[in-house]
Amino acid sequence: MATLDQIKEKVILHWGEMGSLWGINRTMAQVHALLFLSDEPLCANEIMEELQISRGNVSMALRELISWGLVTRLHIKGERREYYTTEKDVWTMGRIIARERKKREVDPTINMLRESMAELESMSPIEGDYEREQIQNLLNFFETGVEVYKDLEAQKPNSILKLLGTALRVKKFSS
């Protein structure tokens, strides 16, 4: 029979694998999972021991997680060492991840596509018709995504679900 620690380990390892599929490195995702499942904040040493990784690796993973806004550093008075904790609400967590991925992936892509369109438009219109059309389609796709993202971002965390539920009900009703 599985012990609590074994179950935690399984979740942490799986989260790590998912992380690497998501362009987040394995360790970073593992540290995140560990903190997410931990009732209290942990210090670098504890993370090191739990995950059996080096001090340097812990330091880098934490730096990255902090820069994403997923982890916060806690100064506990009387304590010399720093403690770390993570956002515990899954919806808020999801929103943070969406925000960061948009910033790192979608925004640069939109810039690139806009640039390409501008260049194509200043070119002789004889060639590149199809390319112009397809790049414009891609651009519209991403821009629409950003629109939707912005609207959703303004909502309270878990109202997103209700919102979509409403949308689908309205749709069903009206079609």
Contact pick of 49, 79, 131, 153 for its own copies (by CB under 8 A) = 131
- 90-101 and 129-153 helices cross at what angle (nearest 10)? 150
Residue 27 site contact among its own copies, DNA, none (CB < 5 to 8 Å, cut-off depends on kind): DNA
Task: Scan residues 55-84 and list those touching DNA (CB under 7 A).
Answer: 55-57, 59-63, 80-82
Which residue among 27, 68, 71, 113 contacts DNA (CB under 7 A)? 27
Number of residues that bind DNA (CB under 7 A): 21
Phi and psi at residue 82, to the nearest 5°: -90, 150
**Spatial distance between the Cα atoms of 120 and 22, rounded to a whole number of angstroms:** 32
Question: CB 72 → DNA: shortest distance, Å?
Answer: 12
Sole binder of its own copies in the list 49, 79, 82, 105 (CB under 8 A): 105
67 binds its own copies (CB under 8 A): no
SS3 state of residue 86: strand
Query: Which residues are within 8 A (CB) of 110 and not within 5 positions of it... i.e. 6 or more apart?
Result: 139, 142, 143, 146
59 binds, among DNA, its own copies, none (CB under 5 to 8 A by kind): DNA
CA-angle at 51, arms to 23 and 7, nearest 5°: 90
Among 10, 14, 18, 20, indicate the residue that binds DNA (CB under 7 A): 20
